[in-house]
Amino acid sequence: MHGNLAALFEPRHFDELGKAVVSLLVADMGRVQDPAFAPVMPPGSPAALCERFPAEFSPTGEGEIVGLLRTAIEQSTRLHAPRFLGHQVATPLPAAALCDLVSSFLNNGMAVFEMGPASSAMERAVLSWLAQKAGLPSRSGGILTSGGSLGNLTALLAARQSHAGFDVWRRGLARGPALCVFVAETAHYSVARAARIIGLGDDGVIGVAVDEKLKMRTDALVEAIADARKRKRTPLAVVASAGSTAGGAFDPIHEVADICEKENLWLHVDGAHGASLLLSEKHQGKLTGIERADSIVWDMHKMMMMPALCTAVLFKDAKKGAAAFAQEAGYLFATSGDDDDAWSDIGKRTLECTKRMMSLAPYISLRAFGTDLFRVHVDKCCDLATSLAAKARARRLEVMTEPECNIVCFRPRGMPSGSVAGIRKKIVDDGRFYIVQVRRPDGIWLRCTLSHPLTTDADLDAIIDAVVSSVEDMRRVPPRAAPGPKS
């Protein structure tokens, strides 16, 4: 049948293949939900995986895709395992993954309304719901884009165009004073990277010290701004994290907003991870002041169970957001010139031209399952984190800070960083859990993110047991004798 392209476009072929592929996923889902399942992360090295997936493509092909997909599944990290406690990427709602299949099939590119009528309207609806959750005014607007990193870049571009004091887009950076932005030392690396991409250089990213809870120190921010002005730099923006990547700490947005107002600076809130706490009555207080932000990044593929990538960039003033890419492309945008405010040709306001129909999964999930589902999920993830921290303390492990969202960092007391990394390796090699580590100025910490809806208290006990018994094993092994002189 292969070799016959027309056959691959036959509805019946797609039906059979589709059912077989869904069955594969269903079988794997059942397997990985078993607490005894291992390995959550496949053990293969990069070189071994390259051997597994050789660059061998014959003219006629192997004719069979189910086997190839099965191998791909087996060699992938299983976010559907309740003991996946690693990075912040969501365990996606299976129904949302199916929305993504429809999106891939339809392939409406979305740069212009005519290439994505349904998804453009859904994007507008999702954005307006998120903006309302953040308390932004009716003149607000935004876009969906491919990830928080691109979102931070988009927001900083808008900040630059709004606050540089000259038209950087048209005239270029060289025609004006040196610009800078302020970010807490704990901010995600994509913020510093975005600042460099927009041409600010090393000196254009000014790190602000954090307090013992890893939150931006506003006294240090005020000092840093005064110091930059003294050095004839033009401050553009302050980036507050909600929450930060390493420890999940929320910067004091209200106080930072006061400073931004007084100093006439753009306030960007990087809520890639934690903006979803706005959905929770219990936790939304951590984001008080976000309604004063000029821009907000919100990843729905972190705490909202959406398949990656699904990121919102919200602007308090839609017009200032549009200025991030103040560019004409007459061949593409039918509305150029006569209606600059048209929201519907989304490509005007994104770095991307063609993009995935990323509004389908959140819009349909919100409509079909209701908003409570997401509120309950956020609360549950945060509760699990609180519980994990308590269990760690009860077993005499050191907890970095009381968790504010679903991220918990802990480690054995008084253990050198190399050994903490050794513990993580032991646990990941054992295979029943996937956890990560994070390096801070005070050394390496084990880090867990709780985002699987089926993770239980028993799973938390089991990971703490695994850590404690690895520590005991490690302490039992006699230290290696110092190498003596060779006889």
Binding-site ranges for ligand PLP (CB under 6 A) = 88, 147-149, 188, 190, 241, 245, 270, 272-273, 299, 309, 311
Q: Which is nearer to ligand PLP, 136 or 153 (CB)?
A: 153
CB of residue 87 to ligand PLP, shortest distance in Å: 8
CB of residue 76 to ligand PLP, shortest distance in Å: 18
94 φ/ψ angles, rounded to the nearest 5 degrees: -55, -40
SS3 44: coil
SS3 string, 92-141, reads: CCHHHHHHHHHHHHHCCCCCCHHHCHHHHHHHHHHHHHHHHHCCCCCCCE
207/20 Cα distance (integer angstroms): 52
Q: Where are the alpha helices (DSSP H) in 330-442?
A: 360-369, 372-394, 417-430
Supply the DSSP string of 335-346, one letter for each residue. Answer: TTTT-TT-SS-G
Structure-token pair, residue 295: 């821009």
17/289 Cα distance (integer angstroms): 50
CB of residue 150 to ligand PLP, shortest distance in Å: 7
353/332 Cα distance (integer angstroms): 10
CB of residue 270 to ligand PLP, shortest distance in Å: 5
Beta carbons of 436 and 428 less than 8 angstroms apart: no
Q: Which is nearer to ligand PLP, 88 or 470 (CB)?
A: 88
CB of residue 149 to ligand PLP, shortest distance in Å: 3
Q: Which is nearer to ligand PLP, 310 or 397 (CB)?
A: 310
Structure-token pair, residue 357: 């129909």
Q: Which is nearer to ligand PLP, 250 or 410 (CB)?
A: 250
Q: Which is nearer to ligand PLP, 84 or 113 (CB)?
A: 84
CB of residue 89 to ligand PLP, shortest distance in Å: 8
Q: Which is nearer to ligand PLP, 194 or 464 (CB)?
A: 194
Residues in the chain: 487
Beta carbons of 188 and 148 less than 8 angstroms apart: yes
CB of residue 187 to ligand PLP, shortest distance in Å: 7
Q: Which residue is nearest to ligand PLP (CB)?
A: 148
Structure-token pair, residue 330: 């007459």
Q: Which is nearer to ligand PLP, 89 or 462 (CB)?
A: 89
